[in-house]
Amino acid sequence: MRARFDRLKREGRGGLVTFISAGDPDAETSARILAGLPQAGADIIEIGMPFTDPMADGPAIQASSQRALKNGITLKKTLAMVEAFRRQDQETPIVLMGYYNPIYSFGVPRFLEEAKRAGVDGLIVVDLPPEEDEELCIPALKAGVNFIRLATPTTDDKRLPAVLANTSGFVYYVSIAGITGTRSARDQDITAAIERLRRHTALPIAVGFGIKTAEHAAKVASAADAAVVGSALVDTVAAHLDSDGRAKPDCADAVLKLVGELAAGVRGSVKGGTA
């Protein structure tokens, strides 16, 4: 993870972090999208671990989880996707994002062992606060897996030290209070939030929630270390399904085309500009 952010710094640009749900809309299409993301321009890849009750996610990502679960995706199959990806790409950081329940059911020691072996670089587990670090965060760090914490507009200066204490890899700033994919934060609010976070941490800062266009991604990446795009990509998957919910032949290509457009915007941004 650090090597990727160091490279972005040398290149003088922010990065593009892309989110897809594992197994959405089916295993084959999902694998094609995942395999094509680095060439399309993704610098870091987040893979959602589908869960039946994704409480922090908006309708688009909830629907993507349901499609994946309906098609038989499991945590074990998600790890197998990462392992298959690693046979062609050893460098692009992979972050698994989701909820603690599936990991707990899988067994934390077993999960961390298999995740590390598959090639997972980091975890974002949205429903484990710092007070529960002994559950997964500390074991993950000991296993050599980054534990990436979320900060939000309501995370005040008093709370931030606890949030950041065991965070590694990068800080994910959630730019709105609420669920994913529903609205976008104002540019000036994002800039102020990044400046505040930098007073508390030297870790890279990635900003997500509500970024849908190349222009918006470029603005965010000019101020932060990376822009995170998720709902726009799963919306594109949904828009390329037939009436029976099956992927149309151009589904993967449509998602990768959007990633290419977002990457072009990010790569054309001027580092240190105004978000």
Question: Catalytic residue numbers?
Answer: 46, 57
Paired residues of 228 in beta bridges: 17
H helix or E strand, kind and range, residue 122: strand 122-125
Non-local CB neighbours of 23 within 8 Å, separated by 6+ positions: 30, 50, 67, 68, 69, 71, 72, 73, 77, 78, 81
Query: Token digits for 128?
Result: 């484990």
Question: Do strands 150-151 and 226-229 pair parallel, antiparallel, or not at all (unpaired)?
Answer: unpaired
Question: Do strands 94-98 and 15-21 pair parallel, antiparallel, or not at all (unpaired)?
Answer: unpaired
> Looking at 192-266, which runs of residues are DSSP E strands?
205-208, 226-229
Q: Tokens 């200066």 sit at which residue?
A: 157
Query: Token digits for 159?
Result: 């709370």
Non-local CB neighbours of 83 within 8 Å, separated by 6+ positions: 117, 118, 119
> How many residues make up the chain in this entry?
275
Cis amide leading into 153 (omega within 30): no
Whether residue 262 contacts residue 16, with contact meaning beta carbons closer than 8 Å, is answered with yes
